[in-house]
Copies of this chain bind each other. A is one copy, B any other.
Amino acid sequence: MGPRWKGKGSEAKALAIPISNSISNLQSSLIKSNSQAILSGCSVLLAANPEQTELLNQTCFGRPVITVDKDKQWFQFTFEEAFYLCYSLNCIKIVDSNDNVKTTNELWEYMVSKRASFCHSFKAYAHLRVKNWVVRSGCQYGVDFVAYRHHPSLVHSEYGVLVFYEGNGMNDRLRVWSDFQCTLRLCGSVAKTLLVLYVGRNGESVTGSSVSCLDGLSVDEHTITRWSPERCREDQAVVN
């Protein structure tokens, strides 16, 4: 399944403004304004100027939050989004409620303490973001993430993503056939491919207590599709 563009001209529009460019612009803009986001419970809040608002919307980081503050647009980031901006793109600082800047390791420890699966979930998120996929929550489709080739206004999401890792199993998914069937059928009916990311260890034992554990993790990609005998004949190349 290739990308399903939304209407005429969407593909051309997308090609004209690659996501990678928009992310570079966002990065520069946030660095220039010395942006600080505020850690608040399980989310991270950032006040954006008009240019940044435009770029955050273009690159699908965070959700705009409606406030009484008319001068600034606030954005709410997930842990993955905030840590990606802070650690991978190195373009924002994150402060606690007392305005103290958190070090990367403090932030990491905090996020892992709030959500044990964060270590693997972030690895998977970053894995897709680095490849310029637009990554959003997959909660509507019962997966961990959905991945878009470009902005969701131009293209339907192409992948439903489940993140697996060694050990406890992040989410106890696909353990039984009925779950497999359910997930595949749902992904199929919304024209997505099911992408399973296995986040594994590169040999040495990995603990989630320090951000350096990310280097010890690898990501394997597997897409899962239904096998249809009719479509998988040996002479496919000849017939089609």
Check B173 against A143 for contact (C-beta < 8 Å).
no
A140→B185 CA distance, assembly (Å): 7
The complex is assembled from copies of this chain, and their number is 2
Residue on B with the closest CB to A183? B182
A225 to chain B, nearest CB (A): 15
Contact of A131 with B by CB under 8 A: no
Interface-central residue, A141, A180, A182, A189, by most chain B CB under 10 Å: A182
Q: What is the bound-complex CA distance between A183 and B183, given in angstroms? A: 8
Mostly, the A contact residues are: helix
**Residue A15, interface by CB 8 Å:** no
**Interface size class for chain A?**
20 to 34
Establish whether residues A162 and B178, one from each chain, have CB atoms under 8 Å apart when the complex forms: yes
Q: Could you tell me the distance in whole angstroms from the C-beta of A43 to the nearest C-beta in chain B?
A: 17
**A144–chain B nearest beta-carbon distance, Å:** 6
Q: State the CA gap A144–B179 with chains docked (Å).
A: 10
Q: Indicate if the CB atoms of B182 and A171 lie closer than 8 Å.
A: no
Bound state CA distance, A171 and B173, in angstroms? 11
On whether the beta carbons of A139 and B178 are closer than 8 Å, the reply is yes
Q: How far is the CB of A187 from chain B (nearest CB, A)?
A: 9
Contact B138 A178 (CB under 8 A): yes
Q: Complex: how many Å from CA A189 to CA B186?
A: 9
| Contact of A178 with B185 in the complex, beta carbons under 8 Å | no
Query: In the bound complex, do residue B178 and residue A144 qualify as a contact, i.e. CB atoms below 8 Å apart?
Result: yes
CA distance A180 to B140 in the complex (A): 10
List B contacts of A183 (CB < 8 A).
Answer: 142, 182
Please list the residues of chain A having a beta carbon within 8 angstroms of any beta carbon in chain B. Answer: 138-144, 162, 171-173, 175-186, 189-190
Given A142-B180, A144-B178, 17 additional A-B pairs, CB 8 A: A138-B178, A139-B178, A139-B181, A140-B181, A141-B181, A141-B185, A142-B178, A142-B179, A171-B176, A171-B178, A172-B175, A173-B176, A179-B179, A182-B183, A182-B186, A186-B189, A189-B189
Listed by A's residue number, 20 A-B pairs whose Cβ atoms lie within 8 Å are: A139-B178, A140-B181, A141-B181, A141-B185, A142-B179, A142-B181, A142-B182, A142-B184, A142-B186, A143-B182, A144-B178, A162-B178, A171-B179, A172-B175, A173-B179, A179-B179, A179-B182, A186-B186, A186-B189, A189-B189
In order of increasing CB-CB distance, the 5 nearest A-B pairs are: A142-B182, A142-B181, A186-B186, A172-B175, A171-B176
